[in-house]
Chain A
Amino acid sequence: MMRERRRTLTVSFDGVEVDAYVGESVLQCARRHQVDIPSLCFLEGLSVYGGCRVCVIEVAEDLRLRPACATTVAADMEVSTDSPRLKAYRKAIVELLFAEGNHVCAVCVSNGNCELQDVAVHVGMDHVRYDQRSPMRAIDASHPKYLFDPNRCILCTRCVRVCDEIEGAHVWDVGSRGQQAVLTTDLNQPWGTSTSCTWCGKCVAVCPTGSLSYQGTAVGEMHHDPKMIVRLAAARRGEWIDPEEYR
């Protein structure tokens, strides 16, 4: 009901004109109109981070690539979502994500249920052209219910945002800088010793990879549920949305 009262304007995706709500992002608009733009760090209901850069788009007459999740629609905006240039950049971005961590799908708890894996398939990645960093990162299995494997983390910060914005606990943060950046709990204390963690599991639900999982999960058994958070966030706003529209 609420959306129908919104002011609208017109934008175009790859030459096809559609209506857009004033104030919404290009990614949100595209999703409503079934225009496929891959993304990883974005999750409806959480604040926009714009860090993964997988959702890059081109806007007419502008050479810069823009993240669709952090670009607000404007009247008569001409958006390109599928150009050869975009395909090449997205593929390179996903390859860099794989090269940065230790993403070995075959032995991952999220194999077959992984957004990073899905995006890799979407962009046509069949190998990684960059040297693997193969970092040595210690797993934090100190929490009685959950396990954090930083080798599989892409620093999308969904867990940081959901813990802060939805649960209100703010257990997670990003520590260190640059190549050394890593998720931390409670000022870099073992997760199991965290006094702020409520054991709610929202961070595990939104993780797009096998980085956050349940203890005792074997390979391929982890099923995340980010749509649960999409529904929950909408309910907090007093809205109902169809989570099938969103990642």
Chain B
Amino acid sequence: MTTIKIDPVTRIEGHAKITLGLGDDGTLESARFHVTEFRGFEAFCRGRPVWEMPSLTARTCGICPVSHLLASAKAGDAVMGVRIPSTAVMLRRVVNLGQIIQSHALSFFHLSSPDLLLGWDADPAARNIFGLMAEEPELARRGIRLRSFGQSVIEEIAGRKVHAPGIVPGGIAHPMTAETRAMLRAGLEEAHATAAGTLSMFVEMLGRFEREIGAFGNFPSLHLGLANDAGTWEHYDGHLRFVDGAGEVVADHIEPWKYRDWIGESARVDSYLKSPYFKPLVDDDDQVMAGVYRVGPLARLNVCTTMGAPLADEALAVYRERAGGTANSSFFYHWARLIEILAATELMGGFLADDAIEHDLVRSTAGINHRHAVGVSEAPRGTLFHEYRVDGHGLLEDVNMIIATGQNNLGMNETIRQIAAEWIDGPDIPEPVLNRIEAGIRAYDPCLSCSTHALGRMPLDVELVDGGGTVVARRRRG
């Protein structure tokens, strides 16, 4: 017998498989979400200089490379033991806001709005961004322009829209010019108007989705996000905070470098995606669901007290009233995402109005002063961890990356189970149900589908298995 082991289990992105298990009586017993690709970043980064790590790890993702650049650069800052210039902090924050705008815009307008606006049962051939352009051309245009604005922010400050080289250990590679600042300020007005208008439209049509709100991963869980002492929405710095499904703070003021005391990582034989869990609630590695937590827009809005931006705070109040305080339905990821876009435009306006953003001191330099460092940032999809151990010359000896999508793995499994239980009745799986399962995953905007679902069709392989292990139905897509 040949045994194939893949060790370590590490980053993935791309294809997914879902297995639904039926009991002897034909009822749904289990639902599993499998990710079937291996990336290996944690392995091949070993031996590389810490200075190269931001650009190297940014290649993990083409949608949110800025998040990896920031987490990696922050780990580099910590290896050097430097406090980076305040202007560099401002620029990094603005880049991350640009990243949140462009990634959220992609998720909502390009990927999810075809379901929300054209309907779950719409013709699959037209249920995509092109169908949206035919039905709602103005909305599609505004969405595309909003994403373009976010990408421009990244390009102008960090040098390139995708895999930008300008975010480096110690700060930012180049100061911001007056021309860049003026250009971004000019584009901000339209971005803000689009964010506000889309949010209003979404709130108005929420009544159509009562069943989805109830069944798209609607369960109490912990929520993790970066937090600050002011209680405002945090996306770049600060400490870790866990709140529970009722909004009670479970753990707070956790220094990022102590994350291993609170977060465990479980690997399963049927998926390359690790399942991080809240360690204090899990005694047995087989019972990790006890420590399920979610990250991303839903969690960030549950973790913060205010958004720190006037219009976004008004939107947050409406959101919390509808969600009953703490939002626990994963369908609300969409809503939270739109509120974050609005907040990002407001906060970016504040940074760009400050003349200090043009100061030319943007980079601290130093040698290797610490052998261990953790860098954390809030990616659009959630809290991102980069942990490095280096030798005395700054060469990587060990790398651990915990990516947002992994932290939502348990939540996505539960979401699939809920959707399947709600809509599957018998061995037939109609296409609209397949679409709802897909949409349930997409609510999390997982990185694993970045490379494939840009046309609105995530490759899916759904199997319905009876109690004896026989596949009684199968639907494939992609």
What residues make up the interface of A, taking CB atoms closer than 8 Å to B? Answer: 106-107, 109, 111, 138-139, 141-142, 144, 147, 192, 215-221
Contact = CB atoms under 8 A, between A and B. Distances in A.
A218 B52 contact: yes
Contact of B56 (A192, A219, A221): A219
Contacts of A147: 49
A218 B47 contact: no
Contact of A139 (B48, B59, B165): B48
Given A106-B59, A106-B163, A142-B393, A217 B51 contact: yes
B366 to A, nearest CB: 8
Could you tell me the dominant secondary structure of chain A's interface residues?
loop
B367 interface: yes
B140 interface: no
A141 B393 contact: yes
B59 A107 contact: yes
B54 interface: yes
B267 interface: no
Interface residues of B, number: 20
B276 interface: no
Across the A-B interface, give the 10 residue pairs with the lowest CB-CB distance, nearest first.
Answer: A219-B55, A141-B393, A218-B168, A220-B165, A107-B56, A218-B51, A219-B165, A107-B55, A141-B395, A216-B51
A53 B49 CA distance: 31
Contact of B173 (A107, A192, A221): A221
Interface of B: 47-49, 51-52, 54-56, 59, 163, 165, 168-170, 173, 365, 367, 393-395
Could you tell me the dominant secondary structure of chain B's interface residues?
loop
A219 B59 CA distance: 12
A141 B396 CA distance: 11
A216 B367 CA distance: 8
A109 B394 CA distance: 15
B471 to A, nearest CB: 39
A220 B49 contact: no
Contact of B365 (A109, A139, A216): A216
11 contacts: A106-B55, A109-B52, A111-B165, A139-B47, A141-B395, A144-B367, A192-B393, A218-B51, A218-B169, A219-B55, A221-B165
A134 to B, nearest CB: 10
Given A215-B367, A218-B165, A221-B173, A139 B55 contact: no
Given A141-B394, A142-B393, A219-B55, 18 more contacts: A106-B59, A107-B52, A109-B51, A109-B52, A138-B47, A139-B48, A139-B49, A144-B367, A147-B49, A215-B51, A215-B394, A216-B365, A216-B367, A217-B51, A218-B168, A219-B54, A219-B165, A221-B165
B395 A139 contact: yes
B77 to A, nearest CB: 12
B42 to A, nearest CB: 15
Nearest to B54: A218
B55 A220 contact: yes
Nearest to A108: B52
Nearest to A102: B44
